[in-house]
């Protein structure tokens, strides 16, 4: 069932957990997220992102086509779910996403100078709130591992600047840079808990962690205690799907039916086997951040 983004964040804060946002790219991935959430009896956020998409395809109707599929899956979910358009590049894409049914949006503008970032974010807030949708923004910059073992320091979020930014823009949630790393496929990030604690004191809205794949498991309880109410996953999801697909293709018999092997949704469907691997990974991540999953 589609529920407000802010409601899921408020429930997470009061319940002492963080809700996962799981980025999708096709109907198999949308279904995997919802099926995992239903199996865990847990709230969830899902949606699509603009960063990894081919710009011409995404801008030429891909956004709307994915939104139509995802929205139908979200509405049919038996557990609470919010639908997020994550890190798109333009205000035009924000408007298109709102018209397509997303109930939360995020503009990828944190790399701009502060004044321009705040100005654009205010415009996003005005558009989204008028449509009954929520806004997430990011302040600071995460290191980008791009599949490597290490990454540079990025730009940690300044607590005083974060307080000013939230007050000036009216955003509903703030993604922060506290040592977390984008696209960290191997190893774990090192989290600056002192900075996270200062951000919790400075910022009234829920805090968000991007780069959830490489977030250290042992650090999760402390992060939640310090105000993190949402965590984003992407790298781990595509990695699980790709591994499941590779294993399925590797074990194909020498003589097969193409109709049964691709798109049948039967056990012989290699994409269905990849989806099941993805579903298991999502369920595992839900349990990591929602230790009470099954009772929510």
| pLDDT for 187 | 79
Beta strands per DSSP E along the chain: 19-23, 44-49, 81-88, 104-107, 134-139, 173-176, 207-209, 228-233
Give percent above pLDDT 70 in the chain.
96
Q: What is the mean pLDDT of the chain?
A: 94
In this predicted structure, the answer to whether residue 122 has a pLDDT above a threshold of 50 is yes
Local confidence band at 226 (pLDDT 50, 70, 90 cut-offs): very high
- Give dist(CA 20, CA 212) in Å, integer: 9
- Of 263 and 153, the structure prediction assigns the larger pLDDT to 263
**pLDDT (average), residues 112-127:** 98
Two tokens, residue 133: 């949708």
| pLDDT for 63 | 98
In this predicted structure, the answer to whether residue 149 has a pLDDT above a threshold of 60 is no
Tell which residue, 215, 209, 226, has the closest CA to residue 175.
209
In this predicted structure, the answer to whether residue 185 has a pLDDT above a threshold of 80 is no
- Of 181 and 144, the structure prediction assigns the larger pLDDT to 181
| DSSP secondary structure letter of residue 228 | E
| pLDDT for 188 | 86
Type and span of the H or E element at 125: helix 114-130
| pLDDT for 69 | 98
| pLDDT for 65 | 98
The CATH number given to 5-289 is 3.20.20.70
Other beta carbons within 10 angstroms of residue 198's beta carbon come to: 19
What are the sequence ranges of the domains in the chain? Answer: 5-289
- Give dist(CA 114, CA 247) in Å, integer: 46
In this predicted structure, the answer to whether residue 163 has a pLDDT above a threshold of 60 is yes
> Considering all CA atoms of the chain, what is the largest pairwise distance in Å, rounded to the nearest integer?
64
In sequence order, the β-bridge partners of residue 119 are none
- Give dist(CA 176, CA 201) in Å, integer: 13
Q: State how far Cα 104 lies from the chain centre.
A: 11
Summarised one tens digit per residue, pLDDT across range 62-97 is 999 999 999 999 999 999 999 999 999 999 999 999
In this predicted structure, the answer to whether residue 173 has a pLDDT above a threshold of 60 is yes
**pLDDT (average), residues 114-126:** 98
- Give dist(CA 145, CA 168) in Å, integer: 31
In this predicted structure, the answer to whether residue 109 has a pLDDT above a threshold of 70 is yes
| pLDDT for 283 | 98
**pLDDT (average), residues 107-116:** 96
- Give dist(CA 16, CA 240) in Å, integer: 28
In this predicted structure, the answer to whether residue 277 has a pLDDT above a threshold of 60 is yes
| pLDDT for 296 | 44
Model's pTM, two decimal places?
0.94
Tell which residue, 217, 211, 275, has the closest CA to residue 24.
275
| pLDDT for 144 | 77
Local confidence band at 153 (pLDDT 50, 70, 90 cut-offs): low
| pLDDT for 75 | 97
Two tokens, residue 197: 């604690």
């Amino acid at each position: 069932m589609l529920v407000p983004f802010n409601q899921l964040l408020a429930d997470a804060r009061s319940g002492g957990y963080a809700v996962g946002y799981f980025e999708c790219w096709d109907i198999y991935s949308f279904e995997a997220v919802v099926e995992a959430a239903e199996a865990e009896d847990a709230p969830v956020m899902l949606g699509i992102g603009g960063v990894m998409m081919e710009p011409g395809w995404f801008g030429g109707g891909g956004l709307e086509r994915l939104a139509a599929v995802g929205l139908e899956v979200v509405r049919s979910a038996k557990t609470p779910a919010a639908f997020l358009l994550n890190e798109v590049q333009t205000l035009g894409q924000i408007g298109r996403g709102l018209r397509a049914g997303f109930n939360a949006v995020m503009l990828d503008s944190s790399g701009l100078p502060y004044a321009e970032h705040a100005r654009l974010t205010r415009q996003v807030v005005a558009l989204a709130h008028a449509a009954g949708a929520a806004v997430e923004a990011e302040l600071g910059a995460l290191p980008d591992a791009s599949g490597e073992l290490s990454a540079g320091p990025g730009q940690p979020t300044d607590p005083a600047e974060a307080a000013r930014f939230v007050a000036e823009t009216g955003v509903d949630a703030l993604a922060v840079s506290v040592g977390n790393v984008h696209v960290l496929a191997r190893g774990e990030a090192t989290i600056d808990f002192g900075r996270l604690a200062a951000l919790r004191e400075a910022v009234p809205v829920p805090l968000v962690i991007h780069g959830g794949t490489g977030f250290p498991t042992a650090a999760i309880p402390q992060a939640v205690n310090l105000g993190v109410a949402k965590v984003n996953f992407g790298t781990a999801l595509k990695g699980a799907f790709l591994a499941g697909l590779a294993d399925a293709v590797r074990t194909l018999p020498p003589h097969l039916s193409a109709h049964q092997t691709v798109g049948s949704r039967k056990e012989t469907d290699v994409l269905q086997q990849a989806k099941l691997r993805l579903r298991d990974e999502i369920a595992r991540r839900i349990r990591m951040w929602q230790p009470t999953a099954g009772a929510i």
